[in-house]
Amino acid sequence: VAEAFYRIQMTRAQQLSFGWQAYITPAFNPDNDIVNVVSIRWRVQF
């Protein structure tokens, strides 16, 4: 598994996060070499 993550502090109460994960040979499935998962998260604090 390879992973990258980055968080931006937009304001005092808001954060924006980006993530990427690469699963190499997931579940030992020969049909899929690499599965990529991308995520975006927006956090707001009240």
- 7-41: pLDDT as tens digits: 999 999 999 999 999 988 877 777 888 889 999 99
Q: What is the pLDDT of residue 42?
A: 98
Domain extent, residue 38, equals 2-44
β-pairing verdict for 14-24 and 34-44: antiparallel
Closest to 43 (Cα-Cα) out of 23, 14, 5: 14
Residue pair 20/42 in contact by the 8 Å Cβ criterion? no
Tokens linked to 40 = 């975006």
Tokens linked to 42 = 């927006």
How many domains is the chain built from?
1
Confidence of residue 6 (pLDDT cuts 50, 70, 90): very high
